[in-house]
Structure 1
Amino acid sequence: MAALRPILPFRPFRRAAVLLAGGTALGLAGLVAGPAILAQIEGERGIAPIASTGDFEVGGIEVNVSGSSAADARAKGWQDAERQAWKKLWETNGMGAGNAPALDPATLDSMVGAVMVEHEEIGPHRYIARLGVRFDRARTGGYLGMRGAVTRSAPLLIIPVVYEGGVASVYETRTPWQRAWAEFHTGESAIDYVRPNGAGPESLLLTEGQLSRRSRAWWRLVLDDFGAADVVMPIARLTREFPGGPIHGTFTARHGPDNRFLGQFEMTAPGDDALPQMLADAVHRLDAIYTQALQRGELAPDSTLTMAPQFDAKQINQILDSLGPVRPRAPDPATPAAAVPGAPGQSAPGTVPAAPAVAAHTVTVQVATPEGTSLDAGLSAVRGVSGVQAVATASVAVGGTSVLRVTYAGELETLAAALRGQGWRVTVGANALSIRK
């Protein structure tokens, strides 16, 4: 009979196993930290917007024609698409339904800049397709009565948000909603859309969480980065009845850093194949809502997003009028003639010798920003100091220290004293200040 071996208790080895696993995890974390960070901005997520001109584009034209050959059927299909697109363009520009002028094929063909194939099926003698037609604005605008300049909005950054399956996405992945806006022909719109590519760091900067931000300092940083004056947020909420079944969409137009509501509508696609067309139609309807808001004056850029100081000319004139005219002071008889105003070598009566101008220079100001409101407070404090000509944000670190570049006409100690007077704790360095509350 074999001797029984003692069974060692398992508990002492449990702690060692945990320590070993913890050490291994730390080592693996150190090895993959760099690639993990890069993985957040790498991958196929950006969709470049199409180049937009002032041409007119009409899509979704259905053709079904026959011909003596496949090439003949296709040529007839394209001619039929041009005629249908011309009638649709005439109606959509408010010229009246059913009364589009009849143009001969040669004239119509000279107005067409391109024919886009959305879907086509070619047979030996049959051509079935869905096409898009682009008309040249210079050749077509005269027929539509558009010879003058078209009023456009200020540059507006667009953040297309889609909610699907309980998840909100902007540029984290390639979504059909992003593609619909990237393929939208903005040249014929009165809205000057600024459409990001969505690749690289843009997928981290422009997220659904940006819609709930109210800090003007944050929005200034984002808008300045894209060269925009304000922001619009077209939102799509997609729900499916069942896989492969109808898709219901609720589309909302919002505007500005306060996420202001402008309009909403609903659409339904019978299946996944019809989803791109539904989203394309939704983009055109949202663009119409924004255009109507522009005409009502509701799409003007938010004045709080402008970094330039605002002056009330009427209030300044009232203050000057209350002071009255400046009268020259009579000379004192005991005053030497050399000191009498108007004497040779002296200034004209009523003038005050100008103080020597102080050259403006750039000062670095570090602001402790444990939260977003701290950055707003620091910016307001620095801008409120007399002699500060400009303030630019060099870097932002919420939970750390943000850096400002300040153009200031004066001494560094004077700037430090002014900030201390506002309740800030100031540390003076070499052409730099560090402030904190």
Structure 2
Amino acid sequence: MLQTLSLPRLSRKAVIAAATMLALLAAAAALWAQVEGDRGIAPVASSGDIEVGGVEVDVRGENAEDAREKGWREAQRKAWEKLGGPDIPDSQLQGLVAAVVIEQENIGPRRYVARLGVTFDRGRAGALLGASGRGPGSAPMLLVPVTRSAGTYMVYEARNPWQRAWAEYQAGSSRINYVRPSGAGGDSLLITYGQTDRRSRTWWRNVLDQFSAADVLVPVAHLDYKWPGGPIEGRFTARYGPDNAYLDSFTLTAESPEQLQPMLDQAVLRFNAIFERALAEGKLRPDPTLDLGTVEADRAIQRLIELGRAALARDRSDAAAREAELIGETAPGEAATPPAAAQVATYLVQFATPDAGAFDASIAAVRAAPGVRSAAVTSTAIGGHSVMSVGYAGSMDQLAEALRARGFTVRQSGNVISISR
């Protein structure tokens, strides 16, 4: 007869503990896999020089070196004309040039065909151009470069040509104050394409605070590869703000994969022109609803607030009158002791956040509780429990009662209050 062999009690516990440890290690490895790897591209340091890119030249010379020198001089003149500079001799113009950037070049025995970028020193060229700047700059704008290709949307999940084009863009001469994350580490988890479809102001404010930005710009590049090794059509759309509002769009085409990066570099310049035009038209002002401390309320709500404040003032006046009567009844020589003012203390409140809607609703409800002076999120965990720091004029027990009155289930443990619906 077969008998079933059972492990000893101690062995079963050891097996369960080992399985639990393996599960934890697997979860940690999966989380690390989401942020490991070479996915970040650090943006270049921006200077204040004036840069003009995409200057096309096609010249001939006595030899390759002479043709190249003539091509660079022609590129400098064309770039100066694009800036609207006055007529000056080549010798003086040469002294204003800080650098010539080779975007693409083909050198023959007596011919030079290239696309160049010319950088002028702002200190020397600014006076001739009539101003040292190009007008007031924008507020810090978080840049979220989205790539769509083969039905997949990508931001920082992997290194890509669109991210590289923005990282290598010299933004010193732009009126837009770009905030360009490198995409390394947790950037790829915090800034995703899905984030651009969220409308929660609280969620957006938490993201923007991580990068000290006031609003967001979303340049979208939709790349359509016609066939392997063939042309690539790029459809580009400029969007901005937490509502993903549309600004403008355009189309460019690269004849081959080798021409993709130059096409994207040109698209970056077009996007910058779109954003600068929107800034001049007053469209790129930071969304006031992102500033949670200065959101304008509806007039009806403002009226209710005013009525509430008036009622509170009457109650305080009545209380003061009753206190004066009590003081009058105090025996001579006895000093009436004034009531102690409530001290504002800070408490940690843990709240369940299964989704972004519950996150916003919980914060709003806590801030509306009587006696709450402030409520700032210190830890966000959508799908779990988040933590906020609450400034309250009273004791922890009083805060717990105020939160119960707002419909929360409240549990106290030490110096922490846990709330849920």
* TM-score bracket relative to the smaller structure: 0.7 to 0.9
* Counterpart amino acid of residue 132 in structure 1: G
Structure 1: gaps (5+ residues): 1-24, 91-99, 341-345, 347-352
* Counterpart amino acid of residue 160 in structure 2: T
Give the Å deviation of 1:226.
0.8
- Match for 2:123 among 130, 135, 138? 138
Match of 2:168 in 1: 183
Give the Å deviation of 1:391.
2.1
Give the Å deviation of 1:70.
6.0
Residues 311/217 of structure 1: CA separation in 2 closer, same or farther (3 Å cut): closer
Match of 2:80 in 1: 86
Match of 1:360 in 2: 344
Q: Deviations over 1:34-54 (max 9, x none)?
A: 444323212221111122233
Q: TM-score, normalised by structure 1?
A: 0.77
Deviates more, 1:135-144 or 1:116-125: 116-125
Q: Deviations over 1:320-367 (max 9, x none)?
A: 9999xx9x99xx9xx99x959xxxxx9xxxxxx986443433210000
**What secondary structure, in the 3-state scheme, does the structure 1 residue paired with 2:128 have?**
coil
Find the aligned partners of 2:183 and 2:26 in 1 and give their Cα distance. 25
Match of 1:270 in 2: 255
1:243 aligns with 2:228: yes
Give the Å deviation of 1:435.
0.6
CA contact (8 A) 2:377 2:389 kept: yes
- Match for 2:409 among 425, 428, 437? 425
Q: TM-score, normalised by structure 2?
A: 0.80
**What secondary structure, in the 3-state scheme, does the structure 1 residue paired with 2:35 have?**
coil
* Counterpart amino acid of residue 374 in structure 2: A
Match of 2:48 in 1: 54
Q: Deviations over 1:255-287 (max 9, x none)?
A: 222222222222222222222222222222222
1:166 aligns with 2:166: no
Match of 1:110 in 2: 95
Residues 371/241 of structure 1: CA separation in 2 closer, same or farther (3 Å cut): same
Match of 2:391 in 1: 407
Percent of matched pairs sharing the same residue: 49
* Counterpart amino acid of residue 383 in structure 1: R
Give the Å deviation of 1:222.
0.8
Residues 125/220 of structure 1: CA separation in 2 closer, same or farther (3 Å cut): same
* Counterpart amino acid of residue 78 in structure 2: Q
Match of 1:373 in 2: 357
Matches within 5 A, 1:14-25: none
- Match for 1:397 among 377, 381, 384? 381
Q: Deviations over 1:67-98 (max 9, x none)?
A: 677665544443332222111222xxxxxxxx
Matches within 5 A, 1:303-342: 303-310=288-295
Q: Deviations over 1:356-395 (max 9, x none)?
A: 4434332100001222221111110111124433322222
Give the Å deviation of 1:406.
1.7
1:193 aligns with 2:159: no
Match of 1:285 in 2: 270
* Counterpart amino acid of residue 185 in structure 1: Q
* Counterpart amino acid of residue 118 in structure 1: E
* Counterpart amino acid of residue 418 in structure 1: A
* Counterpart amino acid of residue 279 in structure 2: L
Find the aligned partners of 1:321 and 1:172 in 2 and give their Cα distance. 51
Q: Based on CA coordinates, which of the two structures has the bigger radius of gyration?
A: 1
Residues 148/207 of structure 1: CA separation in 2 closer, same or farther (3 Å cut): closer
**What secondary structure, in the 3-state scheme, does the structure 1 residue paired with 2:83 have?**
helix
Match of 1:223 in 2: 208
Residues 354/75 of structure 1: CA separation in 2 closer, same or farther (3 Å cut): farther
Q: What CA RMSD, in Å, does the superposition of the two structures yield over aligned residues?
A: 3.7
Find the aligned partners of 1:363 and 1:394 in 2 and give their Cα distance. 12
Find the aligned partners of 2:182 and 2:258 in 1 and give their Cα distance. 25
- Match for 2:104 among 102, 105, 119? 119
* Counterpart amino acid of residue 380 in structure 1: A
* Counterpart amino acid of residue 281 in structure 1: Q
CA contact (8 A) 2:408 2:419 kept: yes
Residues 356/73 of structure 1: CA separation in 2 closer, same or farther (3 Å cut): farther
